[in-house]
Structure 1
Amino acid sequence: MFYENVATECIDDASIPWVPFAPYSSDVLLKYFKLDPIRGESISVLKAPAGTQMPKHHHTGTVIVYTLKGRWKYAEHDWIAGPGSVVFETAGSSHTPVMVPGDDDEVITFNIVQGDLIYLNENDQVIAMENWKTSMERYLAYCEANSLVPKDLTTFAG
């Protein structure tokens, strides 16, 4: 069978640069591990200073967030996610991420995002859209601006 020939890959975290989440924030950084045009999925690590509030957004697909460091929440919910917690976000949900100030000076999460993130203003009007393709554009622009050789993020090949 063909699946038996699919290579298992390992990506070295140090080989992937932290990319600023421009134009939204220069303090929020992303490491893109996989940007899948077939499934419309991105796999990344997000790092943000404690106390940061991200823009409100709407999901067209599901999102899974595993918290590695720090604490965060959604302004619309009572729970707070901390190290070791998993948050599952359903397609069609909207929320405003807030990095909770506390003992850690930053929040780091591992994210698997399917579909689009549609960013909304205070009147719930669309102001931007993010997905695997805009993430790829951001990554390639960062690599070019910093004289880095980009990796093929559409595959898990190291």
Structure 2
Amino acid sequence: MNKQTQITKLPEEAYEATIQAYARDGQHIPGDDASNPWVPFGENASIKHFCFDVRTNSVANILWVKGGGRIGTHKHRGVVSAITLEGSWGYYEYDWTARPGDFVYELPGAAHTLYSDDPNGMKALFWINGPIEFFDDQGRFDFTADVFWFIDHYVNYCREQGVEPDPKMFV
């Protein structure tokens, strides 16, 4: 005998009441340097953090690599999306160059070395899902950057600079 489960449909007013009770508002995160500083990342790069989602191990930030700079070789364990805002950048392992307005996505398992030889450097907005494993110049594992690493990176720098971390960044 085939039994079919009946799905009870909520009246529209009950549905709206549930939304009002449990939904969360989005947030506005300022991009100005006073309240949201550029946090140094190595010798010639900085990160402006925007969102830390511990539920999904994901972060949103802008990476700024000054001209002639690079970010060490790293491997992604999740999907990464990026939109180039300024300058140009690429990966030594690929034959393309990202320019303003270009969209890049990276898939789990991808390993590459980001560089910018643009004299003005580059800025790109990244949405990073999952951890990133970094390697030294000899190809040996160095460290893992996950949502908690990025939180620590932001919060510790803010404290050192006397800037109050923005609680709206934490989902």
Larger Rg: 2
The one-letter code sitting in structure 2 at the alignment partner of 1:118 is E
Displacement of 1:123 after TM fit? 4.2
Correspondence for 2:38 among 18, 23, 30: 18
Q: Which runs of 5+ in 1 are unaligned?
A: none
Displacement of 1:27 after TM fit? 2.7
71-80 or 93-102: which moved more?
Answer: 93-102
State how many pairs are aligned. Answer: 150
Displacement of 1:52 after TM fit? 0.5
The one-letter code sitting in structure 2 at the alignment partner of 1:27 is N
Please tell me the root mean square deviation across aligned C-alpha atoms, in Å: 1.5
SS of the equivalent of 2:51 reads strand
Displacement of 1:9 after TM fit? 2.3
With structure 2 as the length reference, what TM-score do the two structures score? 0.82
SS of the equivalent of 1:54 reads strand
* Runs ≥4 residues deviating over 3 A: 1-5
Q: Percent identity?
A: 25
Write the deviation string for residues 17-75 of structure 1: whole angstroms up to 9, x where unpaired.
11111xxx143111111011100000001111121011000000010011000000100
User: Measured at CA, do residues 19 and 3 of structure 1 come closer, stay the same or move farther in structure 2, by a change above 3 Å?
Assistant: farther
SS of the equivalent of 1:143 reads helix
Correspondence for 1:74 among 81, 84, 91: 91
SS of the equivalent of 2:71 reads coil
SS of the equivalent of 2:162 reads coil
Matching residue of 1:87: 104
The one-letter code sitting in structure 2 at the alignment partner of 1:125 is R
Matching residue of 1:62: 79
Distance 1:56 1:118 in 2: 9
Distance 1:98 1:3 in 2: 45
1:45 aligns with 2:65: no
Matching residue of 1:138: 153
Say whether the 8 Å CA contact 2:79–2:108 is kept in structure 1.
yes
SS of the equivalent of 1:150 reads coil
Displacement of 1:128 after TM fit? 1.1
Distance 1:74 1:27 in 2: 16
1:100 aligns with 2:120: no
Distance 2:37 2:43 in 1: 14
